[in-house]
Chains A and B, each alone.
Chain A
Amino acid sequence: MRKTQQHTQAYYIRQLPRAVAFVDTTLHVSLASDRMVECFGYGKRDLKGESVHALFDNISDKWLKQMHAALRGKAKNRGRELVQTKNGAQWIEWVLVPWYDDHENIIGLILEVEDITTTVVQDNAIMEEAETLRTLIDHLPLNVYIKDKNSKRILANQAEVAFCGYHFEDEVIGKDDYDIFEKEDAQESRMEDIEVMTSMRPIIDRETTIHRKGKPAMTVLSSKIPLRSENGNVIGLVGFSHDISNRKKKEEELHKLINLSAEQNKKLIDFAHIVSHNIRSQSANFSMLLSFLNEEGDEKEQDKIIGMLTDASDHLLDTIDNLNDVVTINKSRDYELVDVNLGESLARVRMEMEQLIEKNNALIHQEIPDGLTVKGFPSYIENLFRNLISNAIKFKHPERNPFIQICATQTPGSIFLRIEDNGIGIDLEKDGEKLFGMYKTFHETPESRGLGLFRTKNEIEAIGGRIKCNSEPGIGTVFKVYFHDIR
């Protein structure tokens, strides 16, 4: 009867839909389900008497310990194991429970095994994929981040972490732009985020200047793409940005260069026009006067014409001399610049112009730091002072004595010279374009030749400086000169 009962139980157990084995205390199989035989039985019809070592090759110490623990009564444990079976390497998930007899004595253990190879392989593949993705994101030469609906970062790659001023992603997670940017930029960025998330339209490659707290400004190209959940609701955004400050700088340098060459080119064309115009006007006079001379019978008139021809010839010589001066200035770029002391240059010019200054009751007030120098040529700097002082006196206001203020200040990278007078001034709206032009004069003063400011501007530019003018008719004129400070 007992035997039959056991037999019946064994019959049921064999039919279990899972791989189950009853193993005795020596770890040999007493009974196994058909499923067990089928999966791990190496083609055997029955596993009775087989050692578990025969079923699962290379059983780990850890698993073996667990088996012994079950034999000692440990209620239930489970684990994963990579084992060698008849099908080769397999991942299994096992469950162990003690096997009790009617009297609650442990007579072995019950082992349930499930082949989870497919799941593990899939999991591994997913993990590997995730890891590859992560490596890719981390090493992209772009800042990559994901923000939630409140614009707080929930992912940041290494570049983004560094951009935010941190070392580890954990430090950046949960931070929004207010934590990282200056307030104004953060506000703008948040507005953009909202725009992207509400319109569901991405922003691509928007050029933005960013001020991070306590860091210099940076120009970036920034893209923001709305992120949706599976059901289509917006859950945040993915952002990319990269630093284009260098490119921007190079672009600006290029623009400067283009402007400079355009300016030089224009100067050259202007110069060619001036040359042709001046030489043409003198030769036109020659040709006209000579034709008169041919037809003139009256001796007195002939003398007059010859006098005029002489004048025209003198003019032509003057013109050629002036033009030659201009060419020399423009050529001086090739020579080595020297340190010119501004205070000493001004002192020399003041001494040389002493009589003119006194005769006109002109007062000169100067504020030039001792030892302040600019890179240039002494003659150019002296010409600058000579020219601006003599202009200030020549074009003094009839109702007041000339008062000229000359001051120089040094700022990082540049030296700024300001020369202000209280003369009659120039209407820059009317004559501004011509102010620094050649042979341009604005006042009916016989000694105006229209060369001074043209020459000054050319000389200042030849040593890398710039000159600008502000003026108000009846009030006075201010010339501002900027020099590069190379030190």
Chain B
Amino acid sequence: MTFAKSVYIIDDDPIIVFGLRKLLSQIGFSGGVTPFCNGKTALDDIERSLTQKKRMPDVIFLDINMPVMDGWQFLEAFINIPMDKTIRVNIVTSSIDPADRYKAARFQSQTDHPISYNNKPIKKKEIQEIMEVA
């Protein structure tokens, strides 16, 4: 079983960051976890890493509702960054609005980065699947 090495969590809720970290460690993930409190800080980091040829994340957990730059604005910008690596983006949201699911599917049709969609609370089993595929 090959595990992802580096995970980004983009969520302004510290409880979610705590929970995801805990779930990741419960499934035996030992790589790096970097939290960002909104899309803007994460995007800046990714762009910086690209220019400085630093290590890019393998998996991103992305919330939708966030201040400054929300999840959709982040995705819009992210899929337009030219890069060789595909990064798995997993949207984790408490929204049960079907429109959000369609929106995610529409983004998937525009990019090679695999995009998945999960409702909060995210389960250990779901995390395991995400990390294994990645």
Contacts from A to B (Cβ < 8 Å): 273, 276-277, 280-281, 284-285, 287-289, 291-292, 308, 311-312, 430, 434, 439-444, 448, 450
User: What is the interface of chain B mostly: helix, strand, loop, or mixed?
Assistant: loop
- Are A450 and B15 in contact, CB atoms less than 8 angstroms apart? no
Q: Shortest distance in angstroms between B128's beta carbon and chain A's nearest beta carbon?
A: 15
- Are B18 and A443 in contact, CB atoms less than 8 angstroms apart? no
Within 8 A of A (CB), among B34-64: 37-38
Q: Shortest distance in angstroms between A420's beta carbon and chain B's nearest beta carbon?
A: 24
- Are A289 and B15 in contact, CB atoms less than 8 angstroms apart? yes
Which residues from chain B contact A439 at a C-beta distance below 8 Å? 65
- Are B68 and A284 in contact, CB atoms less than 8 angstroms apart? no
Report the number of A-B residue pairs with Cβ-Cβ less than 8 Å: 58
Contact for A450 among B14, B16, B19, B67, CB less than 8 A = B67
- Are A285 and B96 in contact, CB atoms less than 8 angstroms apart? no
- Are A273 and B95 in contact, CB atoms less than 8 angstroms apart? yes
Q: Scan B65-82; emit 1 where CB is below 8 A from any A CB, else 0.
A: 101101001000000000
Within 8 A of A (CB), among B18-39: 18-19, 22, 37-38
CA distance A16 to B126 in the complex (A): 125
Q: Shortest distance in angstroms between B74's beta carbon and chain A's nearest beta carbon?
A: 12
Given A281-B120, A285-B19, output 11 extra A-B contacts at Cβ < 8 Å.
Answer: A273-B97, A284-B121, A288-B15, A288-B122, A291-B121, A308-B15, A439-B65, A444-B37, A444-B38, A444-B67, A444-B68
Which residues from chain B contact A291 at a C-beta distance below 8 Å? 121
Which residues from chain B contact A287 at a C-beta distance below 8 Å? 121
User: What is the interface of chain A mostly: helix, strand, loop, or mixed?
Assistant: helix
- Are B68 and A443 in contact, CB atoms less than 8 angstroms apart? yes
Which residues from chain A contact B15 at a C-beta distance below 8 Å? 285, 288-289, 308, 311-312
- Are B73 and A284 in contact, CB atoms less than 8 angstroms apart? no
- Are A442 and B67 in contact, CB atoms less than 8 angstroms apart? yes
Which residues from chain B contact A448 at a C-beta distance below 8 Å? 67
- Are A441 and B67 in contact, CB atoms less than 8 angstroms apart? yes
Which residues from chain A contact B67 at a C-beta distance below 8 Å? 440-444, 448, 450
Show 21 residue pairs from A and B whose CB-CB distance is below 8 angstroms, ordered by the A residue: A273-B97, A276-B96, A277-B95, A280-B95, A280-B96, A280-B120, A284-B120, A285-B15, A288-B15, A288-B122, A289-B15, A289-B19, A308-B14, A308-B15, A311-B15, A312-B15, A430-B73, A442-B67, A442-B68, A443-B68, A448-B67
Closest A residue by C-beta to B73:
A430
- Are B13 and A285 in contact, CB atoms less than 8 angstroms apart? yes
Which residues from chain B contact A311 at a C-beta distance below 8 Å? 15
Q: Shortest distance in angstroms between B69's beta carbon and chain A's nearest beta carbon?
A: 8
Q: Shortest distance in angstroms between B18's beta carbon and chain A's nearest beta carbon?
A: 7
- Are A285 and B68 in contact, CB atoms less than 8 angstroms apart? no
- 6 tightest CB-CB pairs across the interface, nearest first? A441-B67, A284-B120, A281-B94, A288-B121, A280-B94, A284-B121
Which residues from chain B contact A289 at a C-beta distance below 8 Å? 15, 19
- Are B68 and A277 in contact, CB atoms less than 8 angstroms apart? no
Closest A residue by C-beta to B63:
A281
CA distance A276 to B97 in the complex (A): 9
Q: Shortest distance in angstroms between B78's beta carbon and chain A's nearest beta carbon?
A: 15
CA distance A292 to B15 in the complex (A): 12
CA distance A434 to B119 in the complex (A): 23
